[in-house]
Amino acid sequence: MTTPSMHGGNIAIVGAAETDRIGKVPDVSMIHLHTNAARRAIADAGIDISEIDGVATAGPTAIELADMLGLRPRWADGTMLGGCSFMALVRHASAAIASGAANVVLVTHGESGRSRTGVPHYAPSPSSMGGQFEQPYGALAPYSSFTTPVLAFMASRGFTREDLAEVVVSQRLWAIPNERAQRRDPIDVAGVLAAPPVAYPFTRDMCCVVTDAGGALVLMSAERARDLPSADRAVYVLGSGEGTESVIVSQMDDLESFGPFRRGAKEAFETAGVTHDDIDHLMFYDAFAHLPLYMLEDTGFVGKGESAEFFREGHTRPGGDLPMNTQGGGLSYTHSGMYGMFAIQEAVRQLRGEAVVQVPDVHTSFVQGVGMMFGAGGSLVLSNERP
């Protein structure tokens, strides 16, 4: 017997949920943001928790997650690629299910990013590469480290701070009607530039919100999903890719382009057997306003230097022909610390036709994650149709 492909729609996301509350949730500790989302995703799938035989998470160990839920899984994955861990975990879960190493996999995320409730003490190591060669200079937070390559990127393309602001403006339009979004006030380019400065060239609104939130997914084979009461809401994994680069942002191979975006997206398109023209919805991990600009170019949706104009022309806005970050993204909706799970959740909602701001006729969504600054990437092609 040959192993079926992990791609091509053989694996389905059958359960998907965020925590019941997001934003400021000081009365729930981090691990129970995971379990809240997990139990909701299992209910969403319409399965019994005892059917889960694989667990995957990033942050807490898969041991802690499984044990909290009373599970004794036969497959576990704790891959840590920062915020894009969840793209990678969907990919790894798909491989495990296709190969028979697991039948029903739970993937969870939860982070008390804002309230810091029940969060393990974190202290950067002064002997790590970052501790020796970056943190002594002030690059201790994402806003002061992830932003260091951006002026070089902008200069190479003639981009301005207005171009960064335009990304924020485009995404805010999606958040305004969404009651779960953190930033909902209408804003224009001048307003973004007038916001308090954080790290030049970035102002507050060019940096993501910081929230408490969680999300979870349940995956199984498409064959098995056919028998579920929720079968008509299944979302299929068509293709995927992942990759890593440097452990410290100053050593990325090229300040103006990120290899894991280029290579991961290429593999995701190749394994999915689709082209850019087949994509009708984008989720681009936007911890900061520069990321959707890098991603549009590196994943091949536009050519080098064309991303800013793509935003200005309104393609990604409500009513545009390539809607992006349709719940408001990390910049306006939510960002707990590792945002990737929320990008996948919104892609699933759009493909199911259950989004707060629903895009008409979405069939195929492309999801691009980033993690540990410019350390890792993860790409997914998801569809509501099995090829």
Partner 1 sequence: MSQGPVPVPTPETLQFWEGTAVGELRIQRCNSCEKFYFYPRPYCPKCNSDNVEWRVVSGKGSLASYNINYRPFPMFGTEEPQVIALVELDEGVRLMTNVVGIEPVPENLPLGLRVQVAFEPRGDQFLPVFTPDTAATIAAAASALETRA
Interaction between residue 127 and partner 1 (CB under 8 A): yes
The b/e string for 275-305 (b: 16+ C-beta within 10 A; e otherwise) is eeeebbbbbbbbbbbbbbbbbbbbbebbeee
Interaction between residue 387 and partner 1 (CB under 8 A): no
β-strands 202-203, 281-284 pairing: unpaired
Hey, which residues between 58 and 117 contact partner 1 (CB under 8 A)? Answer: none
Interaction between residue 57 and partner 1 (CB under 8 A): no
Hey, which residues between 296 and 325 contact partner 1 (CB under 8 A)? Answer: none
Nearer to partner 1, 117 or 246 (CB): 246
Amino acid at 45: A
Closest distance of CB 258 from partner 1, Å: 14
Helix (H) or strand (E) holding 191: helix 189-194
Distance CA 208, CA 210 (A): 6
> Of 248, 274, 279, 355, which one interacts with partner 1 (CB under 8 A)?
248
Interaction between residue 136 and partner 1 (CB under 8 A): yes
Instruction: Check whether the bond before 196 is cis (ω within 30° of 0).
Output: no
Interaction between residue 201 and partner 1 (CB under 8 A): yes
Closest distance of CB 375 from partner 1, Å: 14
Amino acid at 297: E
Q: What strands lie across the sheet with 212-221, from one edge to the other?
A: 75-77, 54-57, 105-112, 212-221, 11-18, 235-244, 376-383, 364-371, 281-284
> Of 26, 100, 118, 124, which one interacts with partner 1 (CB under 8 A)?
124
Interaction between residue 135 and partner 1 (CB under 8 A): yes
Interaction between residue 119 and partner 1 (CB under 8 A): no
Closest distance of CB 262 from partner 1, Å: 19
Only segment of 16-24, 211-219, 244-252, 369-377 that touches partner 1 (CB under 8 A): 244-252
Closest distance of CB 306 from partner 1, Å: 21
Name the nearest CA neighbour of 105 among 65, 158, 159.
65
Closest distance of CB 47 from partner 1, Å: 46
Residue where the block lists tokens 């090829």 = 387
Helix (H) or strand (E) holding 143: helix 142-145
Phi, psi of 251 (to 5 degrees): -105, 15
> Of 131, 273, 300, 305, which one interacts with partner 1 (CB under 8 A)?
131
Name the nearest CA neighbour of 264 among 295, 292, 237, 221.
295
Q: Which residues contact 321 (CB under 8 A, 6 or more apart)?
A: 315
139, 148, 197, 223 from 151: Cα distances, Å: 16, 7, 15, 49
> Of 99, 160, 251, 358, which one interacts with partner 1 (CB under 8 A)?
251
Interaction between residue 195 and partner 1 (CB under 8 A): no
Q: Which residues contact 79 (CB under 8 A, 6 or more apart)?
A: 56, 58, 85, 88, 89, 92
Interaction between residue 197 and partner 1 (CB under 8 A): yes
> Of 126, 303, 353, 387, which one interacts with partner 1 (CB under 8 A)?
126
The two structure tokens encoding residue 118: 């029940």
> Of 49, 68, 101, 129, which one interacts with partner 1 (CB under 8 A)?
129
Q: Which residues contact 73 (CB under 8 A, 6 or more apart)?
A: 52, 53, 54, 55, 62, 66, 102
Contact 8, 99 (CB under 8 A): no
Interaction between residue 155 and partner 1 (CB under 8 A): yes
The one-character DSSP state at 310 is H
- The site string for partner 1 over 323-362 (x = CB under 8 A, - otherwise) reads ----------------------------------------
Interaction between residue 194 and partner 1 (CB under 8 A): no
Closest distance of CB 126 from partner 1, Å: 4
Only segment of 101-109, 191-199, 215-223, 352-360 that touches partner 1 (CB under 8 A): 191-199
Closest distance of CB 193 from partner 1, Å: 13
Only segment of 105-113, 127-135, 224-232, 331-339 that touches partner 1 (CB under 8 A): 127-135
Hey, which residues between 159 and 188 contact partner 1 (CB under 8 A)? Answer: none
Residues in the site for partner 1, rule: CB under 8 A?
124-127, 129, 131-141, 143-145, 147-153, 155, 197-202, 248-251, 255
